[in-house]
Chain A
Amino acid sequence: MLACALPQTASAADGVDIRRAYIEAADEGYRLAAVYDFELNHGLTDAVQHGVPLYFTVQIEFTRPRWYWFDEKAITAHRTVHLSFDPLTRKYHVGIIGSVQQDFDSLDDALFLIRRPSRWVVAPRGALKVGEAYNVSLRMLLDPDYLPKPIQVNAFNNSEWRLASDKKSFTYKAE
């Protein structure tokens, strides 16, 4: 089942580390299993505890090199997870958009779900040609599209509101 696993080199201190990432071919499709390592800095923690929702997005792209043309983009997918805190009930909510949300009492519990998310079916079977080698690039970041615009502007030159991993690439041979 294990197709590919790459050792992860250390990335930026205030960024997101992709610890482990591999693709599993299961019956329902190709699944991504990944572990992300990151800490919320003080500003973000404070914002979350004041009820500001944060959105984390995982972007994944399967490309197949073609010598005669641009690379074929076989799969492009992204999944967004939101993290929010209700100051009234003092509960943390984590939810994948389009799916149910879970409540946690502590921030660490909530972040655990984001750091070690459940396996994500990236594409159904048949989206990849069996036997072909694909380049997989994976990225995880605090999605600025969901931030209020002034904070976006602030994020241009304020690293407190920038949280993103480097693009992690590895090769996957489709099964």
Chain B
Amino acid sequence: MKTALRYLLVVGGAVVSILLFLLASASDNSGFFDHHYSWLLGLNAAVAVALLLLVCVSLFRLYVRFKSGKFGSRLMMRLVMLFAGIGVLPGLVIFIVSVQFVSHSIESWFNVNVEEALESGITLGRAGLDAALVELTSTARRSVQQLAEQPFGTEPAQLAQLVAQHSDMQNAMVVDGDGGLLVSARGKPGGNLSIDLPTSAMLAKAKTEDLYGAAEGGGESGNDIVGAPSVPQEAAPLRLRVLIAIPDPVRPNGTRLAPRYLQLIQLAPAQLASNGETIRSAYSDYKVRFVARVGLRKMYIVTLTLTLLLAVFGAVGAAFLIANDLAQPLLLLAEGTRAVAEGDLSPRPIVATSDELGTLTQSFNTMTRQLSDARSAVERNRAALQNAKAHLESVLANMSAGVMVLDGEFRLVTCNDSVERILQQAGVTMIGLPLQQVEGLQEFGAAIVAAFSAQSAQSAAGRNLQRLHWQRQIEIPRRPGSGEENDLTLLTRGSRLPVEGGSGYLVVFDDISDVISAQRSIAWGEVARRLAHEIKNPLTPIQLSAERLQMKLEGKLGQADMELLNRGTATIVNQVAAMKRMVDDFRDYARTPPAQLGPLDLNALIEEILHLYTGGASDGIIHPALAPGLPLVMGDATQLRQVIHNLLQNAQDAMTEQAAHVAAPRIDVVTEAIHYQSGDGTRTAVRLAISDNGPGFAQKILARAFEPYVTSKARGTGLGLAMVKKIIDEHGGRIDIQNHVDRSGASVLILLLKLAVPDNINTNVST
């Protein structure tokens, strides 16, 4: 429930308590609220009705929730019933007992005995008064007799004597027939005699019956109603009045006096007066109470009923509050459990109490937090594992060596990108297949299987137990159509891979065709050097012998023979010279002197070389495009000159091969500075590109263009590009040849990575 409602209930409860207290205290017969009793009653009733409405609304809401099966309403219902029962039942019992008590006890206050006693008391008082009155009457009769006998004029003295004799006598007076005062005597001085004059009714009675005697006064003193307008009248003392006619004997002179009356007023005996007053007020009080008893009972019952209603409604209202208070943490927990079951581990709002319920919610939150922590830890670990796996995979994928994982039956499980690159097979097509059944890999697979079985045989024989892997060089034929004729040479290593549920194999292989090729060039160089040495030695004697023959036989032979001789000799000399040159070439290739590196302006070198080509047949064919401000490179001018000569010559040869070329022959010589990223920042390299628009390289040449004795030309040793490659390698550069994509010629790209250190620039300028 809302906080505001809670405060409202607290304040309302306080107000109700005050109202009830006032109502209860107003039930006794005093106090300010006496006057506003009906208001108080109405207010209490209104509060009761308001509470009834509140309770009804609450009950209805609860019922609706219960009907709709809202979560927690069942618990609320039980708690409310419990608390309401606890509150209502004792109240009901007390109410019933009280009502019984009130009804019977009030009735029991009034009984016939008391009433009779009071009646008797009143009668007794009346009898006392009557006795006193009789006494006073006899006194009056005696006085009247005396007054009648005594001569006229002695009345004041007689009255005074009479008053003096009776101490209680207030006054004695003689009045005429109209009530006019004739003579009077007073017991105490002061007082207004005129108010004590007899009324006409008294006189009439005295006239007709000779005597009027009655008790009077003692009236209004018994108004005990608080809050009623006060009655300012002084209570008149209880007194006795006797009015008696004075007998009127005939006067000696024959005249009759006008009728005269003696009035005596005497205070009732003090004891009698006070007792009478007491009994009188008790008598009327008893009557009032007797009449009021029904009202009183009603009052009590109404008060009790209101109290009960307020208590009941208060109990039910409080039951709602308490039940809500108790149920709230439980509902919170239940909701929390449900949320946890659904996977929501966010913290629940905590019930801020120090009791067990508060502790419970706190521990619940601790539990969910720990769960959440554990879950996030698992998540983290998983992510870390995934990262590690991804890292491993990327390492594998970017490895130049091919890695394959095979299962126990040599089926391919996984392989990395390099496998596809080296074997020229899409990995997807191979996965799950035994290697021997993959198209084009039968030999490779057979070799691997053989190697593994050999290793396991060795292991079984007990030898080389410590060697867990084998290494073998396997050659497999290129896939048809790949354009390369050499076999693919793979250096393959295999090892057993203990995997779950059986054994597996790990195969790592590397394409070492290039290495083989390099070894081949070295071997060729050695062979060439020896051959050149062996061949060159006999060449000079051959040439000298031929020239000597010509010289000796000149003039000894006829014209015809002479011509034959000359022709033969010339042929020998020419062929020997050609052979010599070829041998020199071999020697040069094999024995290239080490490059003498120094700062060199590449552009200047190229211009110098191109100068030689201008004016010849190739004038207008070569188009240099030299980048200005090219950094100096470290290079051997002689060797680089040879490189450029070779390349230009190759290009020119390519042009001439293609006589019927559609386009005009053209050779581009381009230099430029290249910036590239390296381990220690951006570095600069110089690139020299020589392109032609000739026919380009044949595919089978292209792969092995830098190997010696590979040539497309009819004449030529096939050493040109091999030389170039060798020189560039010594300069620490890279050389690359490529055909243009549109088959319009080829380019040779040379990248010189070693640049002159700026310090050296001024000291050595290129030749």
Contacts and interface: CB of A to CB of B under 8 A. Distances in A.
A52 to B, nearest CB: 5
Contacts of B122: 87-88
A88 to B, nearest CB: 5
A53 interface: yes
B90 interface: no
Interface stretch (A9-17, A152-160, A162-170): A152-160
Interface in B281-330: 281, 283-284, 286-289, 291-296, 298-299, 302
Interface string B264-294: 0000000000001001110110111101111
A80 interface: yes
A53 B280 contact: no
Looking at A43, A93, A157, the one whose CB has the most chain B CB atoms below 10 A away is: A93
A169 B283 CA distance: 41
Given A151-B288, A153-B37, A86 B218 contact: yes
B295 A89 contact: no
A173 interface: no
B284 A50 contact: yes
Contacts of B286: 50
Contacts of A98: 232
A39 interface: no
Contacts of B276: 88
Given A86-B219, A88-B280, A89-B217, A52 B288 contact: yes
B37 A101 contact: no
Looking at B214, B279, B294, B295, the one whose CB has the most chain A CB atoms below 10 A away is: B295
A149 B280 contact: no
A90 interface: yes
A93 B29 CA distance: 26
Interface string B183-217: 00000000000000000000000000000001111
Interface in B229-250: 229, 231-233, 238
Contacts of A77: none
A146 interface: yes
Given A51-B283, A98-B232, A153-B37, A89 B129 contact: yes
A43 B34 contact: no
A150 B231 contact: no
Contacts of A93: 219-220
A43 B291 contact: yes
A145 B122 CA distance: 28
B126 A146 contact: no
B473 interface: no
Interface in A74-102: 80, 82, 84, 86-91, 93, 95, 97-98, 101
Nearest to B126: A88
A89 B238 contact: yes
A109 B111 CA distance: 33
A88 B129 contact: yes
A154 B238 contact: no
Contacts, number: 121
B215 A89 contact: yes
A50 B129 contact: no
B125 A88 contact: yes
Interface of B is mostly: helix
A103 B216 contact: yes
B762 interface: no
Interface residues of A, number: 38
A26 interface: no
Looking at A52, A87, A146, A161, the one whose CB has the most chain B CB atoms below 10 A away is: A87
B296 A52 contact: no
Contact of B299 (A80, A87, A145, A153): A153
Looking at A51, A97, A98, A150, the one whose CB has the most chain B CB atoms below 10 A away is: A150
A14 to B, nearest CB: 17
B222 interface: yes
A148 interface: yes
Looking at B37, B38, B279, B291, the one whose CB has the most chain A CB atoms below 10 A away is: B291
A121 B453 CA distance: 146
Contacts of A161: 291
B235 to A, nearest CB: 11
B37 A51 contact: no
B253 interface: no
B222 to A, nearest CB: 7
B475 to A, nearest CB: 127
Contacts of B291: 43, 47, 52, 151, 154, 161
A123 interface: no
A89 B216 contact: yes
A152 B226 CA distance: 13
B227 interface: yes
Contact of B298 (A43, A46, A88, A154): A154
Interface string B482-514: 000000000000000000000000000000000
A94 B558 CA distance: 206
A51 B284 contact: yes
A105 to B, nearest CB: 8
A5 interface: no
B490 to A, nearest CB: 120
A84 B283 CA distance: 13
A154 B294 contact: yes
A153 B288 contact: no
Given A89-B218, A90-B126, A95 B288 contact: no
A161 B288 CA distance: 12
B379 to A, nearest CB: 78
A161 B38 CA distance: 16
B295 A53 contact: no
B545 to A, nearest CB: 164
Contacts of B229: 80, 97, 146
A145 B217 contact: no
B293 A150 contact: yes
Contact of A47 (B38, B126, B287, B293): B287
Contact of A150 (B281, B284, B296): B296
Contact of B219 (A43, A101, A146, A156): A101
A113 interface: no
Given A50-B284, A84-B220, 14 more contacts: A50-B286, A52-B284, A52-B287, A88-B122, A90-B126, A91-B219, A93-B220, A97-B229, A148-B29, A148-B225, A149-B26, A149-B34, A149-B292, A150-B299
Interface of B: 26, 29, 34-35, 37-38, 122, 125-126, 129, 214-220, 222-223, 225, 227-229, 231-233, 238, 276, 279-281, 283-284, 286-289, 291-296, 298-299, 302
9 contacts: A50-B284, A51-B280, A80-B229, A87-B126, A91-B214, A148-B225, A154-B291, A155-B295, A156-B38
**Chain A to chain B: the 8 pairs with minimum beta-carbon distance, closest first:** A51-B284, A154-B295, A150-B292, A50-B287, A150-B295, A150-B296, A153-B295, A89-B215
